[in-house]
Structure formats: structure tokens, C-alpha cells
A and B are shown apart, each in its own frame.
Chain A
């Protein structure tokens, strides 16, 4: 397999090769050809953006925003400094796909960022890497050195006047930095607290300069699209949900891991690829898009296809494509207690509803789990959650509220049982 084969393994094709992360492997299989062609033939940025729009590539970090449209927001003709930033701060519980791109296919990301730099007029890019994966950060740093030495990064690339330099920035433990403006603050050497928007990063981003921020998988998909065309990418998925996507399947399955499939693949097929529910147990619940996405009962998920529209219709979000599978032995109160603790721990403290509300929700769920729940607690939880969602600067507030609301909606009887009987029903 190579980058030249138009298969569904858009980002994961190197995994079966020897030395998948090396420049030699990437170049031997078609790597950096798209960048070379674009730069030496001086392909217009408008044409590249049009191709991305045709591909229907939507942001792979969670929001699903159309990438071509996002790139078109950038004031490309603005004469000063501009930046392209990659968000590899992958800390959404359940998500571990970007880690595999960085460790098995770092050059496809580098090529994608260089193409982005060319289109957006950015001479410098940064890749912000999640703090807990230091070994992966080192792999990426080595890939950058290889790319610089081989002339794929630096000044006057391929003998043209195009210059692009790329650096890795290592985080150090803050989920909130996955929020794009918190990430920018963090690169600036500050606390990772999200900024008010507007102004949006395209006009006021890193160091106050126009900046485009995309997820790792999004940027790594760009060379494939430039190689095979937007239409070919679109056809890997379904209309409005172009392309293939890495799904991180974790929890109660026999073979947890990343599976790259076309958008629109039935959930049942994905579950089968992951070896099915462990030990022949029954499927109870699935969080289809990372911990912030509303949980769905297993039988609802079995009727879904894995794409933005189908999961949204079922009442949740495709998010980052992190599929957390829970079998019949799972106590939903315990599961929600842990997620609530996470949002409490990771709230940056800037907005009162989130700072206070996440702790409040955690304490209430904690007492339900520990046999001290009160009859009014379920209403209280819904009330607190509804007062956080939509009332904060960034989406962490909503991300904290949605699990609570969805767990209560679909598994409310389990919570009620805990309150009444002071113990678990599973």
C-alpha cells in the first residue's frame, strides 16, 4: 500500500510497512509528491481550497467544520506573518488516533501542513502535541529533522521562493488546550485559558496574527486529497461526510484500537472489526464521539452509521471519532462519576458556571454512587447541567453538561435505583 493507492487507509496506510515513520519509507511510497507538484507548478491556493471543498473534508478534531471553508476564512493576501497550527493535543477520553498518525505517519502530517502553509501564506507552523505522549513528541521531532535535512521544510523549497518552517510544541497536561484558542495561549507561554470569540483566529490568532488551526488527521488527509482529488476522497465516504476516518475504539471490545473506514460505515461493522463486545457480553451503551458526546444506548447505536449526520440524527455527535464501548456489566453511575470528575479537574476556572458547576455535578454524582443520593438529585443534576451549557466562553462547559444530561436521559432508572436502594443494579 502507498499514498499513491486510493484506498480507504488515508492516514493509516504506513502501518503495515517497516519503519513506518521514516522519511525514506514515506518518500518511497509517494510522499511529498503532492507538495512538490503544488509548489513547483505554482498551483493556485483557490484551486486547492476548491478541491478541499469538493472532498467534503470536515474537521476531524471534534467539531466537524468543513476544512475548505475554514481555509477560505484566512486573509491570505494579508502581508504580515500568518500561522498554520496543528492541534495534536489529543486528550478527549477515548481518542487516540492522532497519536498513531504522529508515530506511524508523521511525514504525511508534515506534508499536509506545508501544503496548508503554501495555501494560507503561512511561513511558519506549529504542531501542539499532547503532554502525556512525550515519546511520540520525540518521534515527531525526529521526523521534522529528517524533513528539514531533505529539503521538505525550510527556505526556498524545491528551488522556488516558497519558505515553510515547522516546529513541535509539547504540552504538559491540560485537556483545555485542545480548545483552539487555549492552545494558542499555551503556545504563547501562558495558562491555557480560552479566548473570547470573536475575534476568530483567522483574524487574530497566534501572537495576534491570522492563524488557521486544524486537527492532525484533517491536515494529514490533505496530501491524499491533493494526490487523488477531492472527488475520490468524497467517494470514500458519503455526501456531506467525505472521506475515510480513523475511529478509536476503546472499552469493552475484544480488539481495542484504531480502525480507518469510510464515513457512513455501519457501527455494527466497526464493532465487528474491533472483535465485538468482549467475552460475548451484551452491548449496553456507546459514547460515539469522545467523552463529551452524549451517550447512546447500544440498540440505538446498532442502527447508526458512522458519519456526522447519522450520529447527529440519533442524538449524539461523531466528535473526534472516539467510540467508547460499554457492556452490560458497566455501572452507568460510576461511569458518569468518573467523567464528571474529569471535567471538574480540567475546567480552566475562567467561567463561573463551568468552574462551579462541574464541581457541583461531580459532588452530586459522587454521593449518588456512594449511597447518599437524594430524591431530588436527578432534577438537580439536569438543572445544573442546563445552566452550564451555553453559558461559558468555550465548549468545555457544554462538554461537561452533555454526558450528564444524556446519561440521565437514557439510563435515568439506574440513577434512580442507586438513590433509592443505595446500591448498584448491575
Chain B
């Protein structure tokens, strides 16, 4: 269900923890699985749980508790815009409106062509570079302006 690279990456996480605590690697394993497959289908979560010898329900608890996991389909490019107070003070509110208008969707929605998903995020811990967004959870874009956001969207095919 997962590529050999992903499985190797998961195994490299497992060895960080005591031999009888494989479950500790579930957060990383779900992240790696989601990065390969785009989003966490129920089958994928179960697969990860079995791989780590843990009850599937415990893996579902993790997948649904942490907000960077996607347990529903998302577009190829997920843009998570921080709108928390320091970002808001620096124009994240206007930026959010700009993104919604440009993409024709609300927060939590995906464009019809499956290209973009727009999400409202919570504090990303980089408030000195506000406003900011994350692209597919792992790449941060900071000191955003409407022009910079437009350029970013154009780049993401």
C-alpha cells in the first residue's frame, strides 16, 4: 500500500523509540503515508496501524486529533493560511478574502478541478514573518502579499 521509500522512512522513525513503544512512531508514519498518498483514507490509517502493531482505532484517534492530517480528500495543493492574531494584524484577513475570491472557494473547500484546497490555519510559530501560509503542510511561505500569493498559486500546477 505504501512505497518502499515510505516504509523505510517509517522504519527510521520506529527506531527512535524503545522497542516496545512502536506506537510512538504513528504520528510520523501517518505523515509519511499522507505525503505519499495525498490524504489518509480509512484503509491507509488501518494499514499504518497494522504496520506498527497498534489497534486501528488508536491510529484513527491520532489521525483525527491533529489538524494537519487530512482524513478527507484534498486538492493537489493545500494552502493553509494562518489567520491568528499576529497574522491578522498584518493583513491575513484581507489575504484570506483575496484567496477565497481568486479561487472561488471558502475555507475548507477544494476547487472543482482538484487543484487547490484552502484551509484556515492556527498559529504556525513564525509570527515575526506574518502573514504566512503552508503549502502541503511542509513548505512555509512568509511575509505574504496578494501579489506573492498570486505568484505562488500560479506556480502550483
**A residues within 8 Å of B by Cβ?**
81, 90-96, 98-99, 126, 130-135, 167, 169-175, 186-192, 207, 248-252, 256-258, 287, 291, 322, 324, 326, 330, 334-335, 338-339, 342, 345-346, 348
> Could you write out 16 A-B pairs with CB less than 8 Å apart?
A91-B125, A93-B122, A94-B127, A95-B127, A96-B127, A172-B27, A174-B66, A175-B123, A189-B26, A189-B52, A189-B54, A190-B58, A250-B86, A257-B128, A339-B84, A342-B85
Q: How far is the CA of A186 from the CA of B23 in the complex (A)?
A: 10
Interface assignment of B144: CB less than 8 Å from any CB of chain A: no
Q: Which 3 A-B pairs have the closest CB atoms?
A: A189-B23, A173-B68, A132-B124
- Contact residues in A for B61 (Cβ distance below 8 Å): 190-191
- Contact residues in A for B65 (Cβ distance below 8 Å): 174, 191-192, 348
Q: Chain B nearest CB: distance from A123 CB in Å?
A: 11
Known: A93-B123, A173-B68, A342-B123. A186 touches B85 (CB 8 A): no
Query: Of B84, B85, B123, which is in contact with the most chain A CB atoms at under 10 Å from its CB?
Result: B85
Q: How far is the CA of A190 from the CA of B122 in the complex (A)?
A: 21
Q: Is B16 within 8 A of A167, CB to CB?
A: yes
Cβ contacts B133-153/A at 8 Å (1 or 0 each): 010011110000000000000
- Contact residues in B for A95 (Cβ distance below 8 Å): 123, 125, 127
Cβ contacts B47-68/A at 8 Å (1 or 0 each): 0000010100010011001111
- Contact residues in A for B139 (Cβ distance below 8 Å): 134-135
Known: A170-B31, A172-B27, A252-B89. A258 touches B140 (CB 8 A): no
Known: A187-B24, A188-B24. A324 touches B85 (CB 8 A): yes
- Contact residues in B for A250 (Cβ distance below 8 Å): 86, 89-90, 127-128, 130
Q: Is B28 within 8 A of A93, CB to CB?
A: no
Q: Is B89 within 8 A of A132, CB to CB?
A: no
Interface assignment of B88: CB less than 8 Å from any CB of chain A: yes
Q: Chain B nearest CB: distance from A257 CB in Å?
A: 5
Q: Is A346 within 8 A of B125, CB to CB?
A: no
Q: Is B88 within 8 A of A338, CB to CB?
A: yes
- Contact residues in A for B25 (Cβ distance below 8 Å): 189
Q: Is B130 within 8 A of A172, CB to CB?
A: no
Q: Is A170 within 8 A of B134, CB to CB?
A: no
Chain A residue at smallest Cβ distance from B137: A134
Chain A residue at smallest Cβ distance from B26: A189
Known: A174-B67, A189-B23, A190-B62. A94 touches B85 (CB 8 A): yes
Q: How far is the CA of A368 from the CA of B155 in the complex (A)?
A: 40
- Contact residues in B for A99 (Cβ distance below 8 Å): 125-126
Q: How far is the CA of A186 from the CA of B85 in the complex (A)?
A: 26
Q: Chain A nearest CB: distance from B14 CB in Å?
A: 11
Q: Is A133 within 8 A of B27, CB to CB?
A: no
Q: Is B66 within 8 A of A251, CB to CB?
A: no
20 further A-B contacts with Cβ under 8 Å, apart from A131-B68, A132-B134, are A94-B123, A94-B127, A95-B125, A96-B125, A96-B127, A134-B138, A135-B139, A135-B140, A169-B24, A170-B28, A172-B67, A174-B66, A189-B54, A191-B62, A207-B18, A249-B128, A291-B84, A335-B89, A338-B85, A342-B123
- Contact residues in A for B89 (Cβ distance below 8 Å): 250-252, 324, 326, 330, 335
Question: A90, A133, A172: which contacts B66 (Cβ < 8 A)?
Answer: A172
Chain B residue at smallest Cβ distance from A274: B128
Interface assignment of B83: CB less than 8 Å from any CB of chain A: yes
Known: A172-B66, A192-B66, A338-B88. A133 touches B83 (CB 8 A): no
- Contact residues in B for A126 (Cβ distance below 8 Å): 16
Question: A134, A251, A345: which contacts B122 (Cβ < 8 A)?
Answer: A345
Interface assignment of B99: CB less than 8 Å from any CB of chain A: no
Q: Is A172 within 8 A of B128, CB to CB?
A: no
Q: How far is the CA of A276 from the CA of B86 in the complex (A)?
A: 16
Question: B21, B68, B128, B134: which contacts A188 (Cβ < 8 A)?
Answer: B21
Known: A172-B31, A172-B69, A251-B90. A322 touches B85 (CB 8 A): no
Q: How far is the CA of A165 from the CA of B110 in the complex (A)?
A: 43
Interface assignment of B74: CB less than 8 Å from any CB of chain A: no
Known: A132-B68, A256-B130. A189 touches B122 (CB 8 A): no
Q: Chain A nearest CB: distance from B2 CB in Å?
A: 17
Q: Is A130 within 8 A of B125, CB to CB?
A: yes
Known: A172-B31, A324-B89, A342-B122. A189 touches B62 (CB 8 A): yes
- Contact residues in B for A175 (Cβ distance below 8 Å): 122-123
Q: Is B27 within 8 A of A335, CB to CB?
A: no
Q: Is B128 within 8 A of A338, CB to CB?
A: no
Q: How far is the CA of A174 from the CA of B130 in the complex (A)?
A: 20
Q: Is B24 within 8 A of A189, CB to CB?
A: yes
Q: How far is the CA of A96 from the CA of B130 in the complex (A)?
A: 11
- Contact residues in A for B134 (Cβ distance below 8 Å): 132
Q: How far is the CA of A188 from the CA of B25 in the complex (A)?
A: 8
Q: Is B125 within 8 A of A132, CB to CB?
A: yes
Interface assignment of B75: CB less than 8 Å from any CB of chain A: no
